[in-house]
Chain A
Amino acid sequence: QVQLVESGGGLVKPGGSLRLSCAASGFTFSDYYMSWIRQAPGKGLEWVSYISSSGSTIYYADSVKGRFTISRDNAKNSLYLQMNSLRAEDTAVYYCARGASYSSSIPFDYWGQGTLVTVSS
């Protein structure tokens, strides 16, 4: 069955860096678009970044552009999010999610359980 398992979250000081990972299994990872989505405590969902199946197309939310970098290693079935210059407002649970292949508008059909990132001094 499809599984997405995030890791790498934790407590980091403002201005610091963190790298999140998402290990995928149960499907052909290299065939699917992937995204990171976050949710601040008690708040709604916010899309963070998208990467195409080959990694050739990448998009970022305005709130993280220039600070975050999404990447993938199809040989390792893994998705990454490098987060630099972290701010308090980046505190959230970060989910990796798979883009469904059965729709051209690519909804997110599978999500990981999330990893918590806390930015605080």
Chain B
Amino acid sequence: SYVLTQPPSVSVAPGQTARITCGGNNIGSKSVHWYQQKPGQAPVLVVYDDSDRPSGIPERFSGSNSGNTATLTISRVEAGDEADYYCQVWDSSSDHYVFGTGTKVTVL
């Protein structure tokens, strides 16, 4: 089955840039989506199709995808960005949705 690997944690100072990676075999050939989940809340879609943002999501959230790594970038990090972040793809070989292992972003 297809596996998506994320770093368990990323720490960043306010105003700086956070980069969260999502590794998978030839993930560059897939469309990657990213979700933000704050404690006690349902996930929220923040980036879809590698780099597009749903309406209402700040431009500070951006994404890229190439080779074996997709990346979610959060620019000018704010305290409110502290959350768990998950990448996700559709694996057509198994007809399964797959989520990454999740990354906890801590704002110092």
A interface vs B, CB < 8 Å? 35, 37, 44-47, 50, 59, 61-62, 95, 100, 103-109, 111-114
Contact = CB atoms under 8 A, between A and B. Distances in A.
Which 7 pairs across A and B sit closest by C-beta, in order of nearness?
A47-B97, A105-B31, A107-B33, A111-B42, A44-B102, A107-B48, A45-B99
Nearest to B43: A111
A50 B97 contact: yes
Interface residues of B, number: 27
A100 B90 contact: no
Interface string B25-45: 000001101010100001111
B102 A105 contact: no
Contacts of A37: 97, 99
A59 B96 CA distance: 7
A47 B98 CA distance: 7
A62 to B, nearest CB: 7
Given A95-B42, A105-B33, A44 B88 contact: no
Nearest to B99: A45
Contacts of B48: 100, 103, 105, 107, 109
Nearest to B102: A44
Contacts of B42: 95, 111-114
Nearest to A49: B97
26 contacts: A37-B99, A44-B84, A44-B102, A45-B37, A45-B43, A45-B99, A45-B102, A50-B97, A59-B95, A61-B96, A62-B96, A100-B48, A100-B54, A103-B49, A105-B31, A105-B48, A105-B89, A106-B90, A107-B33, A107-B45, A107-B48, A108-B35, A108-B43, A108-B88, A111-B44, A112-B42
B9 to A, nearest CB: 13
Interface string B68-97: 000000000000000010101110000111
Contacts of A100: 45, 48, 54
B31 A103 contact: yes
A44 B101 contact: yes
Contacts of B99: 37, 44-47
Given A61-B96, A62-B1, A109-B48, 20 more contacts: A44-B99, A44-B101, A44-B102, A45-B43, A45-B86, A45-B88, A45-B99, A46-B99, A47-B97, A100-B48, A103-B31, A103-B33, A105-B30, A105-B31, A105-B49, A107-B33, A107-B45, A107-B48, A108-B35, A108-B45
